Structure 1
Amino acid sequence: MIRLLAGRLVQIAVTLTVLSFAMFLLIGLMPGDPIDLAIAGDPRLNAEDAARLRALHGLDQPLLTRYLAWAGALMQGEFGYSRLFAQPVAQIIGPALGSTLVLLGAAVVVSAVVGLGLGALAAMKPRFAPVADAIAILGQSAPSFWLGILLIIVFAVMLGWLPAGGTPEPGAVEALRFLVLPVATLAVANLAAYARHSAAELSAVLQSPWITAARARGAGEMRLLLRHAAPNAAVPILQVAALDAGSLVGGALITETLFARPGMGKLIYDAVMGNDTNLALVALLLVALVTMLATLAADIGQRAIDPRLA
């Protein structure tokens, strides 16, 4: 386990380094820079002012020199300053990351519970398998932006049961009401993987000879499912959950923008479109780090369930 952790942490560090350079290069090659935007917003600035500001902020240096300076500051815990929000990046990232983790965590739990339930039902009742497949296909094929708009029209506009989006008022009940529609939008699109993998794995395990022997000894179907089949089918399902965390980040960009939810997805979109280099780079690296840590947690969980993988 220690070798696994050491090796994966090295991989994460190398991956983050490569990703940070690639993102810094791509953002640095975008047309315009913060000084150009400042000149466009204040016509009193002239060419001499622009040259002085570029020298002050190091924008007149080669791209590699700028990257090394930025990476060195990042290693010291200095995330820089956001041009869009006129605040330190660390103060902006914290609340946005917390909001996104709550949204993604709730979506993963809901999609996993519903998907595993459908898969277990399909494995135990083969005649229900076509229904489970149809539900999974419908959920997977529905675009998240279309589903979100549909949910807003039905539950916010027509029925008035839930808010269409925005920032909730203080209070747990209000926070839950504002979470329902975005969580449902993300969960519906991701329950298909859980349903299909769990149905396939549980069906294979339930047909094993040792399951047949346990059934012959009088073990009930629920006991067979929960005590015998589920632990043996959990290893590949954990990997689905890890990959789900990464795929949900892409969906969160659309969902958070659609529901005007102040999370990492919307923050990255605003930062990239506003050419806020510091904020965009730190936010993208944090998303990549969360995805890789989720994969590492899934690998550790798989080895805890099945020691043969160690």
Structure 2
Amino acid sequence: MTSTRAMITKRIAPRLLTGLLVAWGAVTAAFIGMHALPGRVEDILAGDMSWPGLREAIAQEWGLDQSVWSQYVGFIWRIAQGDFGTSYVMRQPVADVIGPQIWPTVHLALSAGILAVVLAVLAATLTAGRGRIARAAASLIELACVSAPVFWIGLLLLLAFSFTLRWFPVSGADGWRALVLPAVTLALPTAGLLAQVLREAMEKALVQPFVVTTRARGIGETLLRLRHVLRHAALPAVTLGGWLVGGLLGGAVITEKVFGRPGLGTVTLNAVLSQDAPVVLAVVMLAALIHVLASTALDVAYVFIDPRLKVQ
């Protein structure tokens, strides 16, 4: 137990430092991007809004009358305190705009992620090392899921299960029934990619000596695959975790719009269309923070998945 904690600590400390550097880089990039855009900063932040004294108030709030270095230090300090400024389009603090929308998006992404993992594990476990027909059929379905646009999958599910069969509501976020189709829509592309990676890794693991030894002990094939082979093959899939988190967040933008759900995706799209720069900047920095947290959690998960790390 002590060695495991020491290993986790050794892996967390550098990752946290790296995560802080990435978060700092994201905030810095947002600041540079805001100043690199053509036009005055106050005009960019104001967007389409225009009323007497607005730009003067923006310049005072953001310290635009100070040096660039002073503006940068103040920007970093405000972000560190969770102050993302004011949405001048909606006339309220950015934190109040995006705060209530975080949980609906996280709820959708978590549900889709869990469903994707379950589908991928089932598909890979049932088809790895099987006949060519089973693997070819599974690969074809997975390729279709990965290649199909998210909005197209969502529209097909709506047509089949909402408009035709009327099993699920067309839009909204009331109850678990309203979550099913959006979660499936978001999960299918991720599940298709995960299943392909898991199957390839499991097929390599199935020919390893430890599988022969385990089979010689009389363990069942299903338990062998789920308990031993799957754990051995999970590392490549976990490596994709950071990219998959980004895919889920990006897909949530389209999915929430197709199904009329609240969330960061809807807020982001509306902010882009209305040129609400403070909200867009806040969402970008929040996405970077989520990536950092997900990468740190996955790095810790390596210790529990791969026993060799404990020995090292």
TM-score (norm 2): 0.86
1:5 aligns with 2:12: yes
Distance 1:193 1:30, change over 3 A: farther
Q: How does 1:271-290 map to 2 (within 5 A)?
A: 271-290=271-290
Structure 1 residue 164 displacement after superposition: 1.8
Instruction: Give the structure 1 partner of residue 220 of structure 2.
Output: 220
Instruction: Give the structure 2 partner of residue 149 of structure 1.
Output: 155
Whole-Å separation in 1 of the counterparts to 2:306 and 2:23: 29
* More divergent stretch after superposition (157-166 vs 194-203): 157-166
Instruction: Give the structure 2 partner of residue 164 of structure 1.
Output: 170
Whole-Å separation in 2 of the counterparts to 1:180 and 1:307: 36
Instruction: Give the structure 1 partner of residue 304 of structure 2.
Output: 304
Instruction: Give the structure 2 partner of residue 80 of structure 1.
Output: 85
Distance 1:35 1:236, change over 3 A: closer
Instruction: Give the structure 1 partner of residue 3 of structure 2.
Output: none
Structure 1 residue 66 displacement after superposition: 3.5
Whole-Å separation in 1 of the counterparts to 2:152 and 2:261: 17
Whole-Å separation in 1 of the counterparts to 2:71 and 2:275: 16
Q: How does 1:110-189 map to 2 (within 5 A)?
A: 110-127=115-132, 128-168=134-174, 174=175, 176-189=176-189
Aligned length: 297
Residues 45 and 278 of structure 2 are in contact (CA less than 8 Å); yes or no, is this contact kept in structure 1?
Answer: no
1:15 aligns with 2:22: yes
* More divergent stretch after superposition (29-38 vs 204-213): 29-38
Whole-Å separation in 2 of the counterparts to 1:142 and 1:77: 37
* More divergent stretch after superposition (286-295 vs 212-221): 212-221
Whole-Å separation in 1 of the counterparts to 2:285 and 2:21: 12
5+ residue gaps, structure 1, are: 169-173
Whole-Å separation in 1 of the counterparts to 2:152 and 2:68: 40
Structure 1 residue 185 displacement after superposition: 0.9
Letter of the 1:26 partner, please give it. Answer: G
Q: Secondary structure at the match of 2:301?
A: helix
Residues 46 and 88 of structure 2 are in contact (CA less than 8 Å); yes or no, is this contact kept in structure 1?
Answer: no
Cα-to-partner distance string for 1:112-142 (whole Å, 9 max, x where unaligned): 1111111111114234111110110110111
Instruction: Give the structure 2 partner of residue 37 of structure 1.
Output: 48
Whole-Å separation in 2 of the counterparts to 1:273 and 1:102: 25
Letter of the 1:82 partner, please give it. Answer: S
Distance 1:60 1:146, change over 3 A: farther
Structure 1 residue 38 displacement after superposition: 2.8
Residues 54 and 60 of structure 1 are in contact (CA less than 8 Å); yes or no, is this contact kept in structure 2?
Answer: no
Distance 1:56 1:82, change over 3 A: same
Distance 1:163 1:305, change over 3 A: same
Instruction: Give the structure 2 partner of residue 103 of structure 1.
Output: 108
5+ residue gaps, structure 2, are: 1-7
Structure 1 residue 36 displacement after superposition: 6.1
Instruction: Give the structure 2 partner of residue 295 of structure 1.
Output: 295
Letter of the 1:96 partner, please give it. Answer: Q
Instruction: Give the structure 2 partner of residue 171 of structure 1.
Output: none
Instruction: Give the structure 2 partner of residue 204 of structure 1.
Output: 204
Distance 1:215 1:23, change over 3 A: same
Whole-Å separation in 2 of the counterparts to 1:307 and 1:85: 52
Q: How does 1:207-286 map to 2 (within 5 A)?
A: 207-286=207-286
Structure 1 residue 54 displacement after superposition: 4.7
Give the CA RMSD over aligned residues.
2.3
Distance 1:36 1:230, change over 3 A: closer
Q: Secondary structure at the match of 1:201?
A: helix
Residues 182 and 255 of structure 2 are in contact (CA less than 8 Å); yes or no, is this contact kept in structure 1?
Answer: yes
Q: Percent identity?
A: 33
Q: Secondary structure at the match of 2:48?
A: helix
Whole-Å separation in 2 of the counterparts to 1:255 and 1:248: 10
TM-score (norm 1): 0.86
Letter of the 2:126 partner, please give it. Answer: L
Residues 166 and 260 of structure 1 are in contact (CA less than 8 Å); yes or no, is this contact kept in structure 2?
Answer: yes
1:71 aligns with 2:76: yes
Distance 1:6 1:210, change over 3 A: closer
Residues 48 and 89 of structure 2 are in contact (CA less than 8 Å); yes or no, is this contact kept in structure 1?
Answer: no
Residues 49 and 89 of structure 2 are in contact (CA less than 8 Å); yes or no, is this contact kept in structure 1?
Answer: no
Whole-Å separation in 2 of the counterparts to 1:140 and 1:91: 35
Q: Secondary structure at the match of 1:38?
A: coil
Letter of the 2:100 partner, please give it. Answer: P
